Amino acid sequence: MSYQVLARKWRPQLFSQLVGQEHVVKALTNALDNERLHHAYLFTGTRGVGKTTLARIFAKSLNCEQGISATPCGVCDACREIDEGRFVDLLEVDAASRTKVDQTRELLDNVPYAPVRGRYKVYLIDEVHMFSASSFNALLKTLEEPPPHVKFILATTDPQKVPVTVLSRCLQFNLKRLSREQIEQQLRYILEQEKILFDDESLSLLARGADGSMRDGLSLLDQAIAFGAGEVKGAEVRTMIGTVGADQVYRLLDALMNQNGAELLQGVAEMTQRATDFTSATQELLAMLHQIALMQTVPGIAPDEAFDSTRLQHFADGLTAEDIQLFYQIGLTGQKELHLAPDPRSGFEMLLLRMLAFRPAESAGASGGGAGSAQTRRVSGAAAPSPSRPKQTATQVDPSYQSTKAKAPVADKRPPQAAAIKKADPAQWDSFVAGLKLGGIASQLAHHSVYESWDGETLCLKLDTSHRHLRVGQAESRLQEGISSQLGRAVKLKITEAVPEAETPAMRQDREQQERQREAQASMSSDPLVKEMEEHFSAKLVSDSVRPTD
């Protein structure tokens, strides 16, 4: 007897055997049990998640000789013929090979005729998005009002290409990608039933390689069984699918943790000798960084079986959470740029050197404002092993970074927060307003007010009566919060309305702008070149076109 591949041998025959897709199974089961059946269904989702399988089980439920039920018997002639693909009233059509409108019309010509063997005639059109516009138009009327003995089941991996006129005539179900845990659990069950030796690492690698598709997972499993001569082992699966060995990535992370550039490049050189795929190496490094980040964030969590938990814990303890996040971000960006490098090795080396050369800003601990302080500083200095660098878990990361190979630290020119608070004087209202970090109406409210008094607790302002409309919504409370933030303590704010005796900041800005404009116009008018053009060409200076340069 010829060998039957696992994807066909273990294709689900009942709704209860399906892996995942509970939301679709529940809807179809209730519809069948209550006989509330729509005439057209659309199953969407990526390859290998069960679209065609669901359609066949649904067709079997409709035509089972025991009656319409969500649990077909599986032993009657109709059920067996559907399972074997020879049921005359189940018409499976590959839309990719029948794109012409004449072929679609020929298919629909048989719609009015009653089913030969079953209760319903079921049209299963796979990859329906491949139909031409004319084919869709030919299908529309029949799809909307088919005879009562006909059911349409459409399946596609690209629903965006299906016209909305077709979508509106179908019940649409989106099948989800399967999780690695679901695929791994099913592979384990199949191997146990097939009595094939395996290990946990191999299942984890196969589930990751399946990328959400059960069919892809089963195809990889078939290949792994053949490659391993009847056994499924992690080392052989790694070799088969080209996954980088974990030991190689552990070595790279050790070099990054110890800031050892020579060891880092030596590791890449050895990977080159083994003909490593550097795209796969980047993906493996990212997967390992993800596991380390999980262990740092959720202490006690069990990492993926494909990795050594002891070694991952060593990296989780030796690297800061900020380092891991930065490495991951650099890896994601570098992965997209590998194909732009002169060769994959140099691209991968530059990716690792960026991880080595940059560090997130560390907390200014000694001068900071206690736990959770948001103050950060740039880190610089020679690259050297620093395993004793304190681990940070609650600091904010500065979005800018500086190379660890800089010769001298960069001085922070910003004044200390305490000094800034001391210099903030509400009595110097113009300069005080310039330092407020406000926008919108709150900023306008400050600019159209003048200082009246300040007793250390309450700040009194006088608002220009012509701008009383600015006292709306949360403008006053936002201004009060901005002043309190500038002074470093809670402040009461009192605003009265009057014609200001002194200039408001807005008035001063307007006056200075007008003065600069007059100076610019006077400078332009006295320019020798302008005078010469006026004299010889009767040119005229347009004053409104002149703008000050500052």
Tell me the sheet residues that pair with 40. 152
CATH topology of domain 246-359: Zinc Finger, Delta Prime; domain 3 (1.20.272)
Residue 191 pLDDT class (50, 70, 90 cuts): very high
- Does the 418-502 domain belong in CATH 3.30.300.150? yes
> Which residues, listed in sequence order, are joined to residue 92 by a DSSP beta bridge?
124
Of 139-153, 258-272, 288-302, 389-403, the least confident: 389-403
Work out whether strand 150-156 and strand 40-44 pair parallel, antiparallel, or are unpaired: parallel
pLDDT at position 482 is: 85
The pLDDT confidence band at residue 396, using thresholds 50, 70 and 90, is very low
Q: Where are the beta strands (DSSP E) in 240-375?
A: 358-359, 362-363
Q: How does pLDDT run across 28-85, given as a tens digit for each residue?
A: 999 999 989 999 999 999 889 999 999 999 999 999 999 898 999 989 999 999 988 8
Q: What is the DSSP string of 10-49?
A: T--SSGGG--S-HHHHHHHHHHHHTT---SEEEEE-STTS
Distance CA 379, CA 357 (A): 11
Q: Strands 358-359 and 402-403, how do they pair? A: antiparallel
How do residues 156-186 score in pLDDT, each as one tens digit? 999 999 999 999 999 999 999 898 889 999 9
Handedness of CA 14, 16, 22, 23 (dihedral sign): positive
pLDDT tens readout for residues 200-212 = 888 888 988 888 8
**Looking at per-residue confidence, does 87 or 235 come out higher?**
87
Residues 6+ apart with CB under 8 A from 414: none
With b for 16 or more beta-carbon neighbours within 10 A and e for fewer, the 443-458 pattern comes to bbbbbbbbbbebeeee
Name the pLDDT band for 95 (thresholds 50, 70, 90): confident
DSSP assignment string, 178-237: PPHHHHHHHHHHHHHHHT-EE-HHHHHHHHHHHTT-HHHHHHHHHHHHHHTTTEE-HHHH
**pLDDT tens track for 466-506:** 888 888 777 888 888 888 888 888 888 888 888 877 888 88
Place of tokens 């390689």: 209
Closest of 206, 223, 219, 213 to residue 50, by C-alpha: 213
38 and 173 Cβ atoms separated by less than 8 Å = no
CA distance 344 to 469: 63
Residue 362 pLDDT level (bands cut at 50, 70, 90): low
Smallest CA-to-CA distance from 459 within 424, 434, 499 is with 424
Q: What is the pLDDT of residue 120?
A: 92
Using CA atoms, how far apart are residues 13 and 10, in angstroms rounded to an integer?
Answer: 9
- Could you tell me the fold of the domain covering 6-174? Rossmann fold (3.40.50)
Tell me: pLDDT of 244 over 80.
no
pLDDT confidence of residue 424: 67
DSSP state of 319: S
* Res. 18: pLDDT tops 60: yes
Residue 306's pLDDT is: 67
Amino acid at 543: S
| Distances in whole angstroms, Cα of residue 248 to Cα of each of 253, 261, 272, 438 | 9, 15, 11, 52
d(CA 34, CA 54): 18
Overall residue count recorded for the chain in this entry: 550
Close Cβ partners of 509 (under 8 Å, ≥ 6 residues apart): 447
Topology, domain 180-241? Helicase, Ruva Protein; domain 3 (1.10.8)
Residue with more model confidence, 60 or 534: 60
Nearest-5° Cα angle at 411, 407 to 416? 160
Q: What's phi and psi for 451, nearest 5 deg?
A: -70, 135
427 has a pLDDT exceeding 80:
no
pTM tops 0.75, yes or no: no
327-334: which pairs have CB atoms within 8 A and are 24 or more residues apart? 327/256, 327/289, 327/355, 328/286, 328/289, 328/290, 328/293, 330/354, 330/355, 330/358, 331/282, 331/285, 331/286, 331/289, 331/355, 332/286, 334/282
> Residue written as tokens 């509970």?
22
